[in-house]
Amino acid sequence: MFKGHVERYIRRTRSARRKMLAVLIDPESFSAKTASEVAKRSEKCGASVILVGGSTICDRSHLDRVTRDIVKNITIPVILFPNNVTGITRYADAILFMSLMNSTNHYFMYGAQALGATTVLRYGLEVLPTAYIIVGGESSASIMGYAKPIPEDKPELVSAYALAAWYLGMRFLYLEAGSGSFKPLSPEVVQRTRERYPGTIFAGGGIRTAEEARGIASAGADVIVVGNLVETEDFEPKLKSIAEALRSVGKREVR
């Protein structure tokens, strides 16, 4: 339903100064049925988009089933967050077509992208050109992507990468602290990045509370990504409070 219109939807939301909540569903953690139920429950809690991805996806047929069932069950856009060429499916609305900017391995900067681009074209996925930057300590994403995470106390380096991404034409930026990270991104890193980068900023990794989400969104992130939280039994109250906190940040900026 959103294919071809996801960027417009995100731009409209940004121009209305509303913050977005993205719920990340890792197909490795769910059956197709459970994934689609979690997506539905997340939409009811106030999620603005569903991301589908994870650092270790390799079963394409399971990814197909999960994504197809999610899309059928919800009305918000479904965007792929691929770890590799195995993270592409025809059933999503769009793909964060990412280059892991601080990887030390050419494959994760441009190699996988060259391998996957024709498939993305053939599937008719909307492409969101995205710079992926890993900050903080080691995580599954940094290990699998051969990244050298940028230390938290070097916000000037994160913002330099972000500006380079903008100059390279990447209209989306994903700041990653690592799934399940003990410590989410610091608001300072996000704020310094915001000062340099005019595009859409996704921020994720270790965000579990409304306060953390509010701090990162107030610092300038447009989309707050929450993944691990929805893998817990009764995630709804916490997710609702995060969505509510993001609505209040948006309102404050409008005034």
Cα–Cα distance measured from residue 37 to residue 101, given in angstroms and rounded to the nearest whole number: 34
What's the burial of 76, exposed, middle or buried (CB within 10 Å: 0-12/13-18/19+)?
Answer: buried
- Strand bridging mode 200-204 / 20-25: unpaired
Tokens matching residue 82: 């691929």
Please report whether residue 67 would count as binding ligand 1GP according to CB under 6 A: no
Nearer Cβ to ligand 1GP, position 84 or 228?
Answer: 228
For the chain, the straight-line distance linking the first and the last C-alpha, in angstroms and rounded, comes to 33
Q: Are 206 and 177 in contact (CB under 8 A)?
A: yes
Nearer Cβ to ligand 1GP, position 148 or 251?
Answer: 148
Q: Are 30 and 57 in contact (CB under 8 A)?
A: no
Please report whether residue 198 would count as binding ligand 1GP according to CB under 6 A: no
Cα–Cα distance measured from residue 98 to residue 16, given in angstroms and rounded to the nearest whole number: 26
Q: Which residue is nearest to ligand 1GP (CB)?
A: 204
- Interface positions, 90-109, toward ligand 1GP (CB under 6 A): none
Give the Å distances, CA to CA, from 53 to 128, 206, 236: 15, 16, 21
| One residue of 6, 24, 92, 249 binding ligand 1GP per CB under 6 A | 24
Least separation, in Å, of the C-beta of 9 and ligand 1GP? 20
Please report whether residue 204 would count as binding ligand 1GP according to CB under 6 A: yes
Please report whether residue 207 would count as binding ligand 1GP according to CB under 6 A: yes
| One residue of 8, 180, 236, 253 binding ligand 1GP per CB under 6 A | 180
Nearer Cβ to ligand 1GP, position 53 or 155?
Answer: 53
The residues near 12 (Cβ < 8 Å, ≥ 6 apart) are none
Please report whether residue 228 would count as binding ligand 1GP according to CB under 6 A: yes
- Interface positions, 111-170, toward ligand 1GP (CB under 6 A): 141
Query: CB under 6 A: which stretch of 69-77, 104-112, 176-184, 193-201 binds ligand 1GP?
Result: 176-184
What DSSP string runs through 232-244?
Answer: STT-HHHHHHHHH
Of 184, 178, 91, 167, the closest CA to residue 129 belongs to 167
- Interface positions, 229-248, toward ligand 1GP (CB under 6 A): 229
**Total residue count of the chain as it appears in this document:** 255
Cα–Cα distance measured from residue 209 to residue 56, given in angstroms and rounded to the nearest whole number: 25
Nearer Cβ to ligand 1GP, position 46 or 205?
Answer: 205
Least separation, in Å, of the C-beta of 81 and ligand 1GP? 7
Q: Which residue has the tokens 């979690």?
A: 38
Query: CB under 6 A: which stretch of 96-104, 128-136, 160-168, 177-185 binds ligand 1GP?
Result: 177-185
Query: CB under 6 A: which stretch of 71-79, 102-110, 155-163, 224-232 binds ligand 1GP?
Result: 224-232
Give residues in contact with ligand 1GP (CB under 6 A). 24, 141, 176, 179-181, 204-207, 225-229
